[in-house]
Chains A and B, each alone.
Chain A
Amino acid sequence: MWTVIQQIAPYAIIFTIPLLITALGALFSERSGVVNIGLEGLMVIGAFTGALVILNMQEMMPGQQKAIWIGLALATLMGLLFSLLHAFASINLHANQIISGTAINMIAAAITVFLARNITGSGNIQISTLKPFNVPFLSDIPVIGSLLFTRTYATTWLVLAILLVSAFMLYKTPFGLRLRSCGEHPHAAEAAGISVSKMRYIGVMISGAFSGLGGAVFIVTTGGEFNGTVAGLGFLALASLIFGQWKPLGILAATLFFGFATTVANVSQVIPSLAVIPPVFLKVFPYVVTLIALIVFSKSSQAPKAVGEPFDSGKR
């Protein structure tokens, strides 16, 4: 069993990281009071931007990892810009946030493939991926070394660093307090002199930036190819956010759960001790568990109280 865990850990972590960064972004959005169901679309935008930039940069500077980092940065930026569509609709126009998010998903899926075909002549963009490495010294530690520090990607450490900074920002800074207050009691926040619109814009934009990064991380670590989807990761990130009860550590745990569950399902056929279980059970396992978790948490949901409600300054 231990060897199995050791074998699948790197793959599970690769799967976890894009999910984690996207769910973390959604945390900012929802804590500020805006539901963002458009995560999938924002990830697709990031994946597309990343792939396109990396493809072009790799031609200009072959064999250099720098191209990938420029791609990741621009993907983050494009995710942020694209999320403004959702912010404008849900904050300024009081649109139904779920419909707006759905529109974001649809626009992203259609326009990226449309542009990919126009620019590269094909709906698929192939790139070479980031190189995994063993962390010096730490990978030599007996047990956790092989579990956590071998064959890791630089993006993994970047995302974990962002997780720490995010948790600090949300809970230990005035900014975090203000942002959270807008998702709980926006009228009280406004009375205290906080601009609810501004905070919600920031929340959605962080969500867009992180999702864009998540989409790009997804293709530079596993996929190696953009083809118009991120395989439902955006929706899974949304589920992770709820499963993790709108808390950074909860999200980390939830995304790790999805990462391991999905990897186990993917590799079950080649591991004898798992091959006895029909694969369909392993595949639906994470989704069924999420449904059960939703039931368990339903009594004590930690959802921000004002999430999903347009803010109307005149209504109390």
Chain B
Amino acid sequence: MRNGIISLLAVLFGLIAGAILMAVTGNNPVEGYKYLFEGGLKNLSRIGNTLATATPLIFTGLSVAFAFRTGLFNIGAAGQMLFGGFCAVAVGLTFDLSRPVLLVMMVVAGFIGGALWAFIPGLLKAKFNVHEVVSTIMMNWIAYWTVYYAVPAYFKGEFLETESKKLPESASLRTPILTEMFDGSYINLGLFIAAIAVIIFSFIINKTTLGYELKAVGFNRDSAEYAGIAVNRSIVTSMVIAGGLAGLGGVAFYAGNATSIQIGILPTQGFDGIAVALLGANTGIGVLLAAIFFGLLYSGRGFMNAMTEIPPEIADSIIAIIIYFAATSILIDRMIRFFINKKKNRQPVATQNNAQKKEEV
């Protein structure tokens, strides 16, 4: 509840800051937002694209959130997503099998690829106490160069050196039914996998022993160890699952939203995953909502850019500012407390208790 209010206020401040940015650069903010939201919601096809844009963000958001629950900072979702996506595309381009079998194999390959890429930082953290922030950044660049050379060497596209061959229809997550239902949008089966992932994520975190152990390690590593939890194993497990989730994001992106894998780009969804997780307060449902909101901003910005002079980077700016406000949530926290105290002005005892409770939270 409290996190929800903080997130909503952060979003509000971000939108206000975006409006100020539009205004100082000589544009009309009301018009800007009108076209931004129309661009994401105006018709079925745009709604479909919004959901499709949100899909990889759900996965990377879940990935960062999952690691965060164990007190780990997964900055490497981009690399995990890239490598997972590469593995899935490689499977899709290599095997000629019936569609259901092939898709399942691709999903599994994507998960394993991402998991492998996060397993290394997890292991280094558990065994040698190497900080995962630096090691995941290194893994991002290793993934970048691996894919950079592997794609042209083994899966070169027909026309461009910089992307792989197009995936055949049997290896695409897009289905005619969905595409028709959303008027030719690129919405795809990835969204359903993402919904399942959200449910499994929430189940693991809230209802299982594993989730309890991971959270315990996240709260206090030492006391978790004292309580007999295998801290090192928890760290590795958490990173592997987080990486696998990011890998699935790669599957959804490269085999669903796109039809091939490009080289020379670290997918920005990996870094946006940090934003999604933070805004979603590291909960499953929060990540889902935050990802859809960011999906809306990202898919609407093109239309806004076409209709106004406002550069599309306004969407990225708004998201980044939201994250800054979410990170400095203590400021918002103080404001909320200030208003609560003002209301309860006449009950000093209650106010004091209230304030104390806030401190503990």
Contact = CB atoms under 8 A, between A and B. Distances in A.
B319 interface: yes
Contact of B313 (A94, A96, A110, A294): A110
B269 to A, nearest CB: 13
Contact of B317 (A93, A110, A284, A295): A110
B111 to A, nearest CB: 23
B360 to A, nearest CB: 15
Given A294-B130, A298-B130, A110 B145 contact: no
B286 to A, nearest CB: 15
Interface in B298-327: 311, 313-314, 316-317, 319-321, 323-324, 326-327
Contacts of A288: 138, 142
B135 A294 contact: yes
A140 B358 CA distance: 70
Contacts of B124: 291, 294-295
A109 interface: yes
Interface of A is mostly: helix
Interface residues of B, number: 44
A239 B320 CA distance: 24
B146 interface: yes
B95 to A, nearest CB: 24
A100 B320 contact: no
Interface string B26-62: 1000000000000000000000000000000000000
A106 B149 contact: no
Interface residues of A, number: 44
Given A114-B313, A115-B25, A102 B148 contact: no
Contacts of B142: 284, 287-288
A224 interface: no
A235 interface: yes
A103 B130 contact: no
Interface in B261-288: 271, 274-275, 278
Q: Which residue, of A102, A239, A299, has the highest number of chain B Cβ atoms within 10 A? A: A102
A81 interface: no
Interface of B: 21, 25-26, 73, 75, 120, 124, 128-131, 133-135, 137-139, 141-142, 145-146, 148-150, 271, 274-275, 278, 311, 313-314, 316-317, 319-321, 323-324, 326-331
Interface of A: 37, 85, 88-89, 93-96, 98-100, 102-107, 109-111, 113-115, 117-118, 123, 232, 235, 238-239, 242, 278-280, 283-284, 287-288, 290-291, 294-295, 298-299
